[in-house]
A and B are shown apart, each in its own frame.
Chain A
Amino acid sequence: MAVQQRYPTRPLECWGKLEELRRRLVRDTYSARERGDLVVLGGPGPLPSVLCGLGGFQLLSPMPIGPDMQDLRLLTKMNELATAQGYGNDCCATLRIALGSMLMDRFGMNKRTGEILKPDIHFESLACQGQMKAQQLYQEYYFQLPSFVVEMPWQEEPRQADVDYLESQLQEAVEWLQKTTGREFNDELLAEGWLNEWRSRIYFSRIMEYQAAVPAPLDQKMLASFATLMWRGAMHLPEIRDFYKEAADEVAVRAKEGIAALATERCRLFHEGPVPWYPSNVLRYFNRYGAVCIGSWLYCTEFGNFTVNEDGSWDVCPMPEDMGLPLKTRDDILHSMAVVFTRYNPRPQLGARIDHRVNMARHFKVDGAVFALDRGCLGNTCGAMESIVAFKEAGLPVTSYEGACANPSELDQGEVVSRIDAFMESLGLKPLEPGRPLLQAEVGG
């Protein structure tokens, strides 16, 4: 009988700090009024640091990362409410939850006190189609909420025109923020926030880059947990920057010393497409086969800033001091933001994402890929079928399942489990341990 190789593994030392930071960010959000912070309704996509020039602010994100996500029955109810308003299952699943939450008067609710935190302004950078349209629904819900949005340019390839377009929007945004809030815009705070965000993103990119190591130092669920600070839109804070540096250093050591996320790693997978935001065991279901989901193009490009080479390796965006850009004036800062988000941001390059995926899969030494075809996230599903074709042509085994990242009723557990089991079997893997259900609670009712 073959002996299964076991890699050394150990818990992440920075995990406790991550949890503490997450708790603190929630506390800070709901105590915003005590400090006179501005409350901003807005997604956590790029550019929260633009708001830093206004002084203290808290982001109230429509992305469903709060406790409501834990309650599958509540989620189902919220989805139903959005549907009843005319926004069907093909609309952005996560943002349907935000709308449902608003319609139930739960959005911005402090779950401990029941108090509702209402936003002062809406400010958002628009990175996908669903977000672009869904943000208008919040406007209609919060009648007369001042609003400004910035478009992250879609590109076939990075070009100067895109830098100019984004920079122009950022200049306009700063003027709007000053005028609308009546606050003076402090360029020093803007620079400080942006440089922190920039560094946070680079440390985060490096963390993901270390996933090319065998065994993988982290699994995808750990990566997702690291990303929660990004989803909170907190990457401009010095303590978050410091956390990501500490985490990157620790992951580098794990990669060097061969410390595995999964001791029994014998199969490496990309899990492409959105993973359920609600509690699920999808990412770790594979572990029973000794398979580990190590990341994906989607995860890496969500908050990472890098370029992908033809061999799948990365050129991570340089640190501010290495970029060679002036960083003294407001114009300098806004220009550098535009450069980082156009030159080192593969995400909006829709046409390139398929080749990127295949090349990265090879570079990260994956044995196959699992595609979540998300019925409620068409932006991330764009290119998914073509990627499946490309993976097959590249000789990389691939499977897929359908679901919706914020709608548990779209996930057919039985079918997904059958698909995964069959895929694992096709890779010649047998279970090492019993499986667990994909969902941790019942849906509906």
Chain B
Amino acid sequence: MNEILFNNQVIVYLLSEALLYALLLIAFVFTLTLLKSWNFSHFTQAQFRLENRSYLVMSIVLFTLMLKMLLLPYFVYTIDSLSDLVPGAMCAAGVIKANGYGTMLLTLKIVLLFLSGLWMGINQLDMKTTTYRYLRAKSWFFFFLFVGLSVEMAWDILYFTQIQTTAPVQCCSVIFGQVGGANGLPFGLDTFKLMVLFYLLFALLFLSVLTYNALLSVLVAPLFLFIAYYAVVYVFGTYIYELPTHKCPFCMLQDHYHYVGYLVWGFLLFGLFFVLKGAMFSYVFKEKSEHLNRVALGLLSIFVLLCSAYVLIYYLKNGVLL
């Protein structure tokens, strides 16, 4: 049996995932009944039973999705801890590339995190109404979300069972370094232009959220995520590591760097999540939420300030930039 499956973190992670998936499966079966038989205009015993049951089912889904959100950083922590077992890996970067499922799984988890948050948003709106206005919408949303969660569960198992402890993997300096002298940045950007683009996109996103321009927010948010990823890996990360050649999105999650990666990626992802949630509320449900926008702007501003602070502090201490 694969040695990886005896790792404490992997056992805890897979068991938690399996347990949560079992809860979601129960909720899914009941959601199918809801979708099939729900009719709010009927004053029948069956409809009343469905209404009561819907509250229980949605509470299970809400609880489970919230726990799954907490499991994402734990998943990253787990694969980071596996770098001690997988030859060649210095951090989670090598482990995630140990087989073909790793990168797909992490991407899927981030997408599902966003979708789960949006489901919670619809659920929150639905709970405010007395007529279960959005029950069908959120049930259908959960239906598709569950398909994604099932794929995630399958990939979780395939990923962890297929990590080899005998085959060496590449370390982050090889994965994110300049392979063959090629420029690792997209659109032919250099470091300076990447920084200009990063701050311009942040300003545009800030402005779009501030002015409740939902469509612009939805368009700019993914682009900002894309550019911010490169900015953190190829520029800000080098200041976190204080080494111009060290380019890795995962090493900053380790204790040598005071786990700052969890804050950096957390503020970015949750900030963008609240941007999208606010945009959805405003665009789809015509409900402008000042509170959501404030949270989004706060989180994104902390992300930008945190990253910029590393550059500024390095410059003040050493008098040069990397």
Chains A and B come from one and the same complex: no
B residues lining the A interface (CB < 8 Å) = none
